[in-house]
Amino acid sequence: MTTAPQSVPQPEPLWQPGPDRIAGARLTRFHDWAATRHGAPARASGDPVADYAALHHWSVSELSRFWQAVADWFDVRFTTPYETVLADRAMPGARWFPGATLNYAEHALRAAEDPARADAPALLYVDETHEPATVTWSALRAQVGSLAAELRRLGVRPGDRVSGYLPNVPQAVIALLATAAVGAVWTSCAPDFGARSVLDRFQQVEPVVLFTVDGYRYGGKEHDRRDTVAELRRELPTLRAVVHIPLLGTPAPEGALEWAELTSAATEPVFEQVPFDHPLWVLYSSGTTGLPKAIVQSQGGILLEHLKQTGLHCDLGPEDRFFWYTSTGWMMWNFLVSGLLVGATIVLYDGSPGHPDTAAQWRIAERTGTTLFGTSAAYVMACRKAGVHPGRDLDLSAVKCVATTGSPLPPDGFRWLHDEVAADLWIASVSGGTDVCSCFAGAAPTLPVHIGELQAPCLGTDLQAWDPHGKPLVDEVGELVVTNPMPSMPVRFWNDPDGTRYHDSYFDTYPGVWRHGDWITLTSRGSVVIHGRSDSTLNRQGVRMGSADIYEAVERLPEIRESLVIGLELPDGGYWMPLFVHLAPGAVLDDALRDRVKRTLREQCSPRHVPDEIIEAPGVPHTLTGKRIEVPVKRLLQGTPLEKAVNPGSVDDIELLRFYERIAAERAEGPAGREK
């Protein structure tokens, strides 16, 4: 990471931290401590940008020393010591902290050991009434202890999978921590997922326990999920127990256990000490080309990566209240839970982001005293368009940082936050992925914020932009690559015994180097610009989704012969997701069929899977081996000429692509073009 030559004029930052804020940042204290204890370069220049650049360079060139420093700084409890920090740095296959044993849940509940904090809030839960409910540290620890003991009584052992079909409620956090405490493997889906989408995920990992609600509330309405739960129970033959959480107040179905009965004993938790690389949870990719990838991340890897992110990059500690709008089907929920690792209070919101109106999330921040407010770029832009004035109308004096992810925050979003929330506001646009359950680039409390840019690559993340030949680029657009291992990279995919699918997902383009699938620019000032996906993954409202889920649901309708869905990042920060449908003979794409398609996707997948537009197409193009062509169509819709978007020799019917080329041209011309 380099700083620009002094002769190059530098743009004015939108915001920069003052000397007191830099001095008080945990990142600054860590830097000074690591320079004394672990050989990091001392802060000597008086220039925070140069200081961070030097620390980052050390963190990626001296990986073992950096991650040892992180473990020491956060006082990670290794029950048995590690033999070395990084035994093998190959990607894939890096081996971190061999010999060490620990437990993630023990660290997440550590604040409860302090008598002074026992009655302080660990969780603040808010639903659409916006009335916060508190779970104290002592209550959280007791419920986790009780549930962990019950899981052991049910025969759950280290390595067994435990699943949750749950919204963002305290019970989900408790179930995750109890699962981790016994050394089992957590996996979750949000209850707006239809049965097929859930089964595509859970059937892969064969859970032995299912935690489930009877339904959820969203947008002022109740959504009953009991029929879906019954289908999950029928289709998951490995289940030994189902735990009923009556969010809507219904009685437990036959054979299900009651949540309250499993969590009522005041039991001191027992933490299974597991190897560093023991699985903690399974997250899922979007399933673009088939079943979602079941991504396995480790107890130790997530523990260290999330301590670094929450404690250094997010500058969170015991005095903070950490909110992120998320669901249990997105990695940001897992990231939010990790705020407990540094003793922060985490704010859980279960409901619509815009109920009863667009300003809803800001009111939650006001009611809970949120200090780090996490949301999506899309929500920020929606507030801007709706004329919301959070700083004027609400008391947001506690908010010191607004962080956004899911898609790049457009320049107008930066300006709106600065103008309408607070002028002295740290804006942290961050970017990472489910694949590592963390950020590659984003927040740094000591650095300036420039409009449209992420502040810096994260510590310990050897982030680079590469051209197709593997040449690093500066101030030019390239592929996002990571050239050294990170502890939270997957230890494996589930049901991928020889690692082929894992390798092909990230390492087939540049052998031994992680290619993520984003276009980025690393500037000569050390900041990062994200330009969107370089592959065809759908990314709606911050949640990556798979086209396969959409095709499976839509093409069950007799009127639909085949379909093609594309997700397109727009220059204004918006996102356009059209669904092209090739109709069966005699079918007509009228309002009734459009409504059926939308209802099918909403019920069988999720509301996020509903397209922005449904367009009749003469057909869907394929490769010569019969695979739907998505990336070339996306390129066409972005304005790439046909001859550059696809190799004509690889397509079964090149004439079909001319239809999508015409759609792109009509959109470029605006409404007048579409009327022709």
Say if 19 falls within a structural domain.
no
**More confident site: 669 or 407:** 669
Question: Residue 290 has what pLDDT?
Answer: 56
Tell me if 524 sits within 8 A of 580, measured CB to CB: no
Q: Is 337 exposed, middle or buried (0-12, 13-18, 19+ CB in 10 A)?
A: buried
| pLDDT, tens only, 202-228 | 999 999 999 999 999 999 999 999 999
**675 pLDDT more than 60:** no
Spell out the long-range contacts of 427-430 with Cβ–Cβ below 8 A and sequence spacing 24 or more. 427/14, 427/15, 427/401, 427/402, 427/403, 428/314, 428/401, 428/402, 428/403, 428/404, 428/455, 429/377, 429/403, 429/404, 429/405, 429/453, 429/454, 429/530, 430/403, 430/404, 430/405, 430/454
**Does 356 sit behind a cis peptide bond, omega within 30 degrees of 0 on the bond before it?**
yes
Q: Output the CA torsion 67→71→73→74 (10° steps).
A: 130
Together in a domain, 469 and 590: no
Please state the separation of Cα 174 from the chain's center in Å: 20
Question: Residue 138 has what pLDDT?
Answer: 97
Say if 388 falls within a structural domain.
yes
pLDDT bin (cut points 50, 70, 90) of residue 668 is confident
Instruction: Give the rounded percent of residues in the chain with a pLDDT score beyond 70.
Output: 93
Say if 40 falls within a structural domain.
no
Question: Residue 643 has what pLDDT?
Answer: 80
Together in a domain, 502 and 619: no
pLDDT bin (cut points 50, 70, 90) of residue 7 is very low
Mean pLDDT (whole number) for 374-391: 90
Mean pLDDT (whole number) for 556-576: 87
Domain CATH for 612? 3.30.300.30
Together in a domain, 509 and 609: no
Question: Residue 608 has what pLDDT?
Answer: 85
pLDDT bin (cut points 50, 70, 90) of residue 5 is very low
**487 pLDDT more than 90:** yes
**171 pLDDT more than 90:** yes
Q: What is the DSSP letter of 311?
A: I
Instruction: With CA atoms as reference, report the closest residue to 187 among 329, 90, 84, 306.
Output: 329
**549 pLDDT more than 90:** no
- Among 2-16, 52-66, 185-199, the minimum mean pLDDT is found in 2-16
Together in a domain, 414 and 506: yes
Question: Residue 627 has what pLDDT?
Answer: 67
Together in a domain, 254 and 355: yes
Which is it for strands 401-405 and 426-429: parallel, antiparallel or unpaired? Answer: parallel
Question: Residue 548 has what pLDDT?
Answer: 67
Together in a domain, 597 and 515: no
- Among 89-98, 290-299, 313-322, the minimum mean pLDDT is found in 290-299
**287 pLDDT more than 70:** no
Spell out a b/e string for 131-152, using b for 16 or more CB atoms within 10 Å of the CB, else e: ebeebbbbbbbbbbbbbbbbbb
| pLDDT, the chain, mean | 91
Question: Residue 622 has what pLDDT?
Answer: 81
Question: Residue 604 has what pLDDT?
Answer: 83
Q: Which two tokens stand for residue 165?
A: 């079909």
CA 472, 478, 483, 486 torsion: positive or negative?
positive
| pLDDT, tens only, 9-50 | 678 999 999 999 999 999 999 999 999 999 999 998 789 999
User: What helix, strand, coil percent values describe the chain, rounded to 5?
Assistant: 35, 25, 40
Phi-psi domain of 448 (left: phi exceeds 0; alpha: psi -120 through 50; beta: other): beta
Q: What does the chain come to in residues?
A: 676
Mean pLDDT (whole number) for 405-412: 80
Domain CATH for 524? 3.40.50.12780
**288 pLDDT more than 70:** no
Tell me if 373 sits within 8 A of 321, measured CB to CB: no
| pLDDT, tens only, 471-483 | 999 998 888 999 9
pLDDT bin (cut points 50, 70, 90) of residue 194 is confident
Together in a domain, 652 and 544: yes
**More confident site: 406 or 482:** 482
Together in a domain, 274 and 418: yes
Instruction: With CA atoms as reference, report the closest residue to 454 among 420, 408, 486.
Output: 408
Together in a domain, 526 and 542: no
Together in a domain, 516 and 570: no
Q: Which two tokens stand for residue 7?
A: 């002769």
Question: Residue 2 has what pLDDT?
Answer: 39
Tell me if 39 sits within 8 A of 33, measured CB to CB: no
List Cβ neighbours of 229 (8 Å cut-off, separation of 6 or more).
Answer: 165, 212, 214, 242, 253
Say if 76 falls within a structural domain.
yes
Question: Residue 378 has what pLDDT?
Answer: 78
Question: Residue 483 has what pLDDT?
Answer: 97
List Cβ neighbours of 558 (8 Å cut-off, separation of 6 or more).
Answer: 584, 587
Together in a domain, 264 and 200: yes
DSSP letters spanning 269-305: -----EETTSEEEEEE---TTSSPPEEEEEHHHHHHH
| pLDDT, tens only, 454-465 | 999 999 999 999
Spell out a b/e string for 438-452, using b for 16 or more CB atoms within 10 Å of the CB, else e: bbbbbbbbbbbbbbb
Tell me if 567 sits within 8 A of 537, measured CB to CB: yes
Say if 470 falls within a structural domain.
yes
**671 pLDDT more than 70:** no
Question: Residue 528 has what pLDDT?
Answer: 95
Question: Residue 130 has what pLDDT?
Answer: 87
CA atoms within 13 A on the CB side of 530: 30
**276 pLDDT more than 70:** yes
Looking at 514, 531, 548, which one is the last position of a domain?
Answer: 531
Domain that holds residue 244: 60-531
Instruction: With CA atoms as reference, report the closest residue to 351 among 372, 325, 322, 316.
Output: 325
Single-letter amino acid code for the residue at 178: A
Tell me if 61 sits within 8 A of 483, measured CB to CB: no
Number of structural domains (the chain) is 2
Say if 18 falls within a structural domain.
no
Together in a domain, 579 and 462: no
- DSSP H stretches of helix in 473-543: 500-506
DSSP-based three-state secondary structure for 579: strand
| Helix (H) or strand (E) run with residue 232 in it | helix 226-235
Question: Residue 533 has what pLDDT?
Answer: 66
Taking the C-alpha atoms of residue 245 and residue 172, their distance in angstroms, rounded to an integer, is 10
Looking at 480, 512, 531, which one is the last position of a domain?
Answer: 531
Instruction: With CA atoms as reference, report the closest residue to 570 among 664, 433, 465.
Output: 664
Q: Which two tokens stand for residue 555?
A: 């093409």
Question: Residue 410 has what pLDDT?
Answer: 80
CA 18, 23, 28, 32 torsion: positive or negative?
positive
Say if 31 falls within a structural domain.
no
Instruction: Give the rounded percent of residues in the chain with a pLDDT score beyond 90.
Output: 75
Say if 443 falls within a structural domain.
yes
Question: Residue 1 has what pLDDT?
Answer: 42
- Which neighbouring-strand residues pair with 244? 212, 258
Tell me if 57 sits within 8 A of 457, measured CB to CB: no
Residue 392: CB atoms within 10 A of its CB come to 9
What is the Cα Rg of the chain in Å?
24
Please state the separation of Cα 443 from the chain's center in Å: 15
Taking the C-alpha atoms of residue 51 and residue 88, their distance in angstroms, rounded to an integer, is 29
| pLDDT, tens only, 498-547 | 999 999 999 999 999 999 988 889 999 999 988 766 676 677 766 666 67
Which is it for strands 209-213 and 241-245: parallel, antiparallel or unpaired? Answer: parallel
Question: Residue 193 has what pLDDT?
Answer: 85
**More confident site: 626 or 295:** 295
pLDDT bin (cut points 50, 70, 90) of residue 249 is very high
Looking at 515, 531, 547, which one is the last position of a domain?
Answer: 531
